[in-house]
Amino acid sequence: MSTKGGVTALTCRNYRLASDTDKPRSTGIVSEKLLSDYLHHVFPSSKQPPTVASLRKPLGFQDLGSHLDRLLTEAEPSEESRDPSVEGRLGPQPVVLDHTSGFEGLLFVDDDLLGVIGHSNFSSIRATTCVYQGKWAYEVLISSQGLMQIGWCTLSCRFNQEEGVGDTPDSYAYDGNRVRKWNVTTTNYGKSWAAGDIVSCLVDLDEGTITFCLNGQSLGTAFSGIKTGPGVAYFPAISLSFKESVAFNFGSRPLRYPVEGYLPLQDPPAADLLKAHQLLGFIKNVLSTCLDPQEDKLLEKEAADWSLHGEPTVLITLAHIFNHFAPLMCKVYLVEDVLMNFLLGILEGGGSVDEHPLIQQLLDLFWLLMEEHEVNECLKQLMMSLLRAYRFSPIIPDLGFQIHYLRLTTAILRHEKSRKYLLNNLTFDVLRSVVFFYIKTPLRVKEAGLEELIPTTWWPTHFDKEGKDEREPKDESSDERLRRRAYERGCQRLKKRIEVVEDLQVQILKLLLNNKDKTTGEASRYIFLNKFRKFLQENASNRGHPTALCPPEYMVCFLHRLVAAVRSCWDEGGRKSLSSLSSEDAYVPPQLFYNGKVDYFDLQRLGGLLSHLKKTLKDDLACKANVLIDPAEIQTTSMDDLDEDEESGAAQRPFGAAAMGGALARPSWLSSPTLGRANRFLSTAAVSLMTPRRPLSQPEKVKVRTLAVEQRTEEDIEGSHGNDGLLLGRPQEEPDQPITDKSLLEIIDGIVMMYNLSVHQQLGKMVVVADEVHEYAVALKDTEEKIARCPARRADILEELQKSQKVFAEKLNHLSRRLAWINATIYSKEKMLDVYWLLCVCIRTIEHADNTGSLFAFAPEFYLNVAMNAYSALKNYFSPANSMEELPGYEETLTQLAAILAKHFADPRIVGTDIKDSLMQALASYVCYPQSLRAVERIPEEQRVAMMRNLLAPYEQRPWAQTNWILVRLWRGCGFGYRYTRLPHLLKTKPEDANLPSLQKPCPSLLLQKHMAELLSLDKDMAASFLNSVLNQLNWAFSEFIGMIQEIQQAAERPERNFVDTRQLKVCATCFDLSVSLLRVLEMTVTLVPEIFLDWSRPSAELLLRRLAQLLNQVLNRVTAEKNLFDRVVNLRLPGLESVDHYPILVAVTGILVRILVDGDKQGTSRAAAVLLSDPCFQLHSIQHLLGEPGASSGSPAAVRPAGSSAAPLTPSAAGNPERKHFSLHAYTDYISQEEKQKVEMMLDFLTEESKQAAAATAPTSEEDLCPICYAHSISAVFRPCSHKSCKACINQHLMNNKDCFFCKATITGVEDYSKPCSS
């Protein structure tokens, strides 16, 4: 017998029990007397009194088998003493869900017929067994906290997609989602449940009552006087909505919360249970007894010190025990009730897991004395029982249950052979062990003991004008300070207890990442790596099917533990080589993206499909990375792509359809962490489902030069003797940096993918608790202020206010404790550092990939997504509890990310429209905040100029709204009256989210404005095309806006009550906002580079100025006329049109006019005035309207009135509102400076004078001399060769898009000035 790798290499096959022929040899190990004493001590008879050793019959190995059989038989209850079969129950044993006829709707049911997931609106299913008398119980393990109704029903109940258990007579249900009970009618009952809770359903048919318990606590009698008697029997039943999942325990496992007097629906295996406990007692006797052959006596010792020394007497004794014990350990009930509790008892003494080597010895014993199939089944059931126990344990103050189960899991996984079996065969089949890394958030604070742990609660009580918390309020009272500090101390206590659990979880992961245990086959890390990749594939390929995904709350916890474990392993390996990278500087080398060693499934690459990239970039791969691609393989890949395109239609079909072929691949934890995958799909409308062309669970086709996960070896990953492993195909630009463990690179890559799949969304989702605390705190403060102002004579109002105050305070006490838990588990400083490390990994990876030139196209899109999202999470989700400014190297990281956004938002190597939009939006958000804007200004000048050039590209044929928004943000704070954060008329309302980029204080960038001015000034062609596109978009946006408000006004004036579509209102407001932002870009351009419009030596200056004047006049006429269409819609104050007001658009127009008419040189202002006055739409009263001066006549031809304008207004605010009677810039003293007002007055004086002179100097023009196109200007241009005529403005605008003559369609080769010949 030899010991190898911590496992005794002895199997059942080469070991024989002692027989008579072996007697002399076996009894010669120790004396016969000592052996007899030993065996009598280990196997005491329960029926015979202890006798003197000398009077006892000698016992040897030859008699041990029969002796053991006799002992086990004695322990069995006699036929007479056995309980007669329990009456009151009908149906088969074991009890399972009725998947043949007892269901309605679409459902997924697990292999064991105990777990179920709803897959339609409201599905129902019942069990196979019913009860008609007696007291019965079963348990439901809640896996998701959504809409479900759990209880009992009779066979006569008929359910459908709208009515389920509790909605029909003779069916009774408890609904913890809505906290109600149901029996046709509904009333409040019980408590709200959460994922991880256990509901006990009890029925007493003797008394006619139904009761429910939640985690062992009775919720009280729910129903009494239920129908009983002949012909009435009740089935366990459930109705659940889409995606909700549970697992039933009818008695196949020990009930977690048994209730005295109530029996489980399924009988426990009483005889086997008794036998197992007896055999376990024998094993404990062996562990606590020691043989001393020298002294010829038995010695008592601590069982914890027992070890498997290979002592033949002990081994033979144990072999006899295991002959009976091993088959019993294949049954789930016995494993959970006997073995798991025994192993947990070993660890109860506390101390580290290393201090309890007995579990390792026992596992050695299992592998030694049990058949392989027996030990495999036993380990499988043991791990599933642990997983179930961990997941469905209630939260208590010291997290004792969770720690207890994790310690045993750690102890089992320390055993090398057991760990590798579990990794290979069970635990990570679909990475079920993610459950072990989850720490659930308690929904009920009191039951979780948080009131004792955090006795003092606190919440922010000081807010600024915009409703944001003041981080350091100066007027914080001493009582508030004491409360805050006591709350923070409570939070620290909670955090320390949670850290104990997290440390155990990291220990488990480090065991799974062990790459030194190669003595018994492939190292654990490489088994884990392959399983981990499959897990990612399942979650990446099933994103449209929620039932197949790992829950995002599990993903968040798993990601943080994995980061901690990987960084620890990385740094441990790095200590051996001083030149290797530290985890602080980790990144994923670009060759992983194209060398085929890592499978990225069908995830989108920056340059498009992988097959397309391999065809188009094969020469670059050969040249830069020495990677050759066989043309035949490219052809094969192309054919595969065609197949995938055809099958993408099948993938769109209902996910449940796949299960009809038995090929559904999904994690079973969503319903229960019990056995395997779901292989039954129940549907009452199965006829309507089609089977896809091939099962979804088939492995993906092997891509060109890509190894399947199962085919990879350690050498493929780590490399050896000149083979670079994962780093094969290093491009010339990539430094030859030594990396100790290349396998960790793939895990880091997987972590980034996990963040992209669901972690970021979950981080955003959990912020809602902090938002609720803020909302209730504001409400409480408002209520307290009202109480202080309430007059003493109004006792009724005071009483109501005090009730509200009490409700708000109770809610805040609850939420602040819950928030403490969430901050400790999700938003702690350590978790923030994990996300920051992930951000840095992505930035470095993108930078290295970018250096490879064209090969950058192979990088997966999710790296850019994670870089943007991780920054967003750090900025928006982790504050104010933790500040980004405290992160190491924060400013440098901001600058690196700014450089990435600036360079890649218009990178031609990136083809995906979604990722391009995301980059553009991220850059738009980046320039809204002072710190990130300064980071953009810190990037190299060459990159800044390139970014501005891309922003100034013509707006046609690309998404221009975000680009325009970026330019506006660079200008905001410099424009005319453009220093506001919120519009004046919205100041009294509180914003829904004060952290929105659009609500940040102005922070203009003079540096980037300077770059823009230089580009527009030097590149005349680009300036002309850019401004033409801006003017085109402004014309479109404002025209759309006017058309929409006409429809809104018409709907409002109808006598019947009509509701305007909210989507139409939103689009209308968007068009208005776009018009304002485009006007601001024009203001910025005319301020920075006025010569574009006013220097007529530039080829398009005059045309641009005329177009600008035309649009400005159109806007002014539409907006300034008294009581016109715009006025009416603004005064309606419709929800969704809050941003539509006179101020933003009129101030933007005024800014442009002031710049070209007042701030310029004399020649420029004269030209601008002449063009403006010559426009037929110009009306001086529109300018006078800006200052609220009289003269804006309501009868003016410019006042555009809709039909029916005499109708009575719909709302009081629409009639006679003095604030809306005359708009005036004088009313906005906080927004417009005195200097700006003076400039408007100067502009008005100047235009008044100019218009008088123009009117006096203009000679009457005959109709024959007017341009036949616009009839606004005189003919001033003649076309060649056809000699037709028009004004210059019309022909120049026409030639921008078309070269054909207006009239004869001949191609125009030239345009000449035209002057009317003198009459003879």
Alpha helices for 1213-1258 (secondary structure H): 1218-1221, 1234-1257
Strand-pair partners of 9: 2
pLDDT score at 326:
94
How far is the C-alpha of 515 from the C-alpha of 505, rounded, in Å? 18
Report the predicted TM-score, pTM, of the whole model to 2 decimal places.
0.84
Closest CA to 1124 of 1180, 1189, 1190, 1042: 1042
State both tokens at 1315: 């002057």
Task: Tell me how far apart the alpha carbons of residues 1130 and 958 are, in angstroms, rounded to a whole number.
Answer: 32
Residues 125, 243 contacting (CB under 8 angstroms)? no
What does the pLDDT read at residue 15? Answer: 40
Average pLDDT score, the chain:
81
Helix (H, G, I), strand (E, B) or coil at 148: strand
Please, are residues 419 and 511 in contact by the beta-carbon 8 Å criterion? yes
Element (H, E) at 135: strand 135-142
Q: Which amino acid is at 599?
A: D
Helices (H), 392-434: 400-413, 416-421
| DSSP-based three-state secondary structure for 1279 | strand
Q: For residues 934 and 1003, is the Cβ–Cβ distance under 8 A?
A: no
- Which pair of tokens denotes residue 827? 């938003």
For 5-32, what is each residue's pLDDT tens digit? 444 334 443 344 434 444 333 344 577 8
User: pLDDT higher for 728 or 682?
Assistant: 728
User: d(Cα 433, Cα 423) in Å, to the nearest integer?
Assistant: 10
Q: Residue 1 pLDDT > 60, yes or no?
A: no
SS in 3 state form for 306-332? CCCCCCHHHHHHHHHHHHHHHHHCCCH
Residue 1191's Cβ-count burial label (10 Å; 0-12, 13-18, 19+) is exposed
pLDDT at 112: 86
3-state secondary structure 159-204: CCCCCCCCCCCCEEEEECCCCEEEECEEEECCCCCCCCCEEEEEEE
Question: Is it the case that residue 1159 has pLDDT exceeding 50?
Answer: yes
Q: Is 239's pLDDT higher than 80?
A: yes
The two tokens of residue 446 are 């009191």
Q: Comparing C-alpha atoms, which of 1139, 1140, 1110 is closest to residue 1125?
A: 1140
Q: Are 142 and 246 within 8 A, CB to CB?
A: yes
Share of the chain above pLDDT 90, in %: 38
Q: What's residue 1278's pLDDT?
A: 87
CA distances from 1088 to 383, 980, 1082 (A): 70, 21, 10
pLDDT reading at 77 higher than 90: no
Q: pLDDT band at residue 1051, thresholds of 50, 70 and 90?
A: confident
- Which pLDDT score, from 0 to 100, does residue 206 have? 92
Question: CA 748, CA 535: separation in Å to the nearest integer?
Answer: 14
**How far is 406 from 415, CA to CA, in rounded Å?**
15
Average pLDDT, integer, range 1299-1313? 83
Q: Give me Rg for the CA atoms of the chain.
A: 40
Task: Return the minimum-mean-pLDDT range out of 229-243, 1011-1025, 1125-1139, 1232-1246.
Answer: 1125-1139
Q: Are 1239 and 1159 in contact (CB under 8 A)?
A: yes
Phi, psi of 146 (to 5 degrees): -80, -160
Mean pLDDT of 561-581: 84
Q: How far apart are CA 580 and CA 943, in angstroms?
A: 31
Q: What DSSP element (H or E) covers 724? A: none
Residue 693 has pLDDT above 90, yes or no: no
Alpha-helical runs (H) found in 1091-1213: 1091-1094, 1101-1120, 1125-1132, 1142-1157, 1162-1174, 1180-1186
Q: How many CA atoms lie within 13 A of 1296 on its CB side?
A: 19
Residue 843 pLDDT level (bands cut at 50, 70, 90): very high
Provide the 8-state DSSP code for 49.
P
Which residue bears the tokens 């493929």? 716
Residue 545 has pLDDT above 80, yes or no: no
Predicted confidence (pLDDT) per residue in 408-452, tens digit: 999 999 999 999 999 887 655 544 678 889 998 888 877 778 888
For residues 1248-1275, average pLDDT: 75
Burial of 230: CB neighbours in 10 Å, binned 0-12, 13-18, 19+ = exposed
Triad 1161, 1162, 1164: Cα angle to 5°: 70
Phi, psi at 1148, each rounded to 5°: -65, -45
- The answer to whether 201 and 140 have CB atoms below 8 angstroms apart is yes
Quick check: 734 pLDDT over 70? yes
CB 1168 within 8 A of CB 1088: no
Helices (H), 1121-1141: 1125-1132
CA distances from 1264 to 1255, 1275, 1279, 1312, 1314 (A): 20, 9, 17, 19, 14
Quickly list DSSP for 674-713. Answer: SSS---EEEETTGGG----SS-TTSPPPPPTT---GGG--
1307/1309 Cα distance (integer angstroms): 6
**32-47 pLDDT tens trace:** 888 888 888 888 876 6
Going by C-alpha positions, the residue among 431, 562, 499 that lies closest to residue 841 is 562
Q: What is the pLDDT of residue 703?
A: 35
pLDDT digits (tens, 9 = 90+) for 1104-1153: 888 899 899 889 988 887 667 888 888 888 888 888 888 899 999 999 99
| Side chain identity, residue 52 | V
How confident is the model at residue 84, as a pLDDT?
A: 52
**Encoding tokens for residue 17?**
């029990």
Picking from 301-315, 325-339, 924-938, 944-958, which range would have the lowest pLDDT averaged per residue? 301-315
Place of tokens 């999710």: 862
Residues in the chain: 1320
What percent of the chain is modeled with pLDDT above 70?
Answer: 82
Sign of the CA dihedral 828, 829, 834, 837?
A: positive
Give the pLDDT confidence score for residue 633 in this predicted structure: 57
Residues 6+ apart with CB under 8 A from 295: none
pLDDT digits (tens, 9 = 90+) for 372-412: 999 999 999 999 999 999 999 888 888 888 999 999 999 99
pLDDT of residue 663: 34
State the average pLDDT over residues 566-575: 86
Q: What is the distance between the alpha carbons of residues 401 and 389, in angstroms, rounded to a whole number?
A: 9
More confident residue, 226 or 699: 226
The Cα 1107–Cα 1113 span in angstroms is: 10
Asked if omega into 1281 is within 30° of 0 (cis), the reply is yes
Q: What integer pLDDT is reported at residue 727 of this predicted model?
A: 78
* Banded model confidence at residue 1214, pLDDT cuts 50, 70, 90: very low
Give the number of other Cβ atoms within 10 Å of residue 1318's Cβ: 5
Token pair 């697992």 in the structure block, residue: 247
